[in-house]
Amino acid sequence: MDGEWALQNAFTDVFPGLETLRWHNHFYKDIKKCLRENLNRLHQGVTNRAQEPSPAITVTTTPFVLPELITNQLPSSNESPNDLYRRLKDLFVKQHLDDVCNLLRGVTKIEFMNEYQKKKVEWAPAFTAYWERWHLSHIDCFGTWTNRPYGLFDEISGITNNPVESINAVLKKWISWKQLTTDKLVQMLYLFLGYYCNEIKRGLS
């Protein structure tokens, strides 16, 4: 699954015992987007406050507090303020993403939770709030303790998704981003899925 909760709920409603996993590449893209957007928003807010005559501002969201690793960075020679900001943003995103990757490699969920309690104090508070709201309750979909037994975990990239992305690429090539009538689409999917059914049978024989 790639975060389509309506689709996941549909499967689990029909198959209550179904164990679902989520591809790491979509998961990491969501995290990167959150970190970049919120850091941009914080930077814009700081710039606006510096330009306003009155300092009275009401904060309605959890502010992003930059880690010490970021705030201690000094501009290199001939580095413009914009270049420095982009470099710090990349460092900020990488630090949080590396922490998440390492946490998910825990052998058990208990190990993950123990390490998470230690690590989250180093995170930006707004990222911790985002993580706990959107991802922590679904952590079994990402953790290696769930997907390693199925041989789905790649030590470098996380849960592999090459077959699924290949299906997606083939379908897009077939339809060439054009609309199809339902009967043509069903016929194409029938032939397409037949190939994978044969592959499964061959693997089990």
Least confident of 81-95, 103-117, 118-132, 187-201: 187-201
Least confident of 1-10, 85-94, 95-104: 1-10
Q: Are residues 52 and 9 in the same domain?
A: yes
pLDDT tens figures, 139-182? 998 888 988 887 777 776 666 555 556 666 777 777 776 777 88
Domain that holds residue 192: 162-204
Instruction: Give which of 101, 94, 95, 93 is closest to 154, Cα–Cα.
Output: 101
CB 2 within 8 A of CB 23: yes
Q: Are residues 54 and 152 in the same domain?
A: yes
Q: Are residues 166 and 79 in the same domain?
A: no
CB atoms within 10 A of CB 178: 6
Region for 22 from its dihedrals, namely left if φ exceeds 0, alpha if ψ lies in -120 to 50, beta otherwise: beta
Q: Are residues 187 and 133 in the same domain?
A: no
Q: Are residues 103 and 178 in the same domain?
A: no
Number of independent structural domains in the chain: 2
Mean of pLDDT over the chain: 77
Q: Are residues 154 and 185 in the same domain?
A: no
Q: Are residues 53 and 81 in the same domain?
A: yes
Q: How far apart are CA 22 and CA 48, in angstroms?
A: 39
pTM of the model: 0.65
Q: Are residues 75 and 137 in the same domain?
A: yes
Query: How much is the pLDDT for 136?
Result: 93
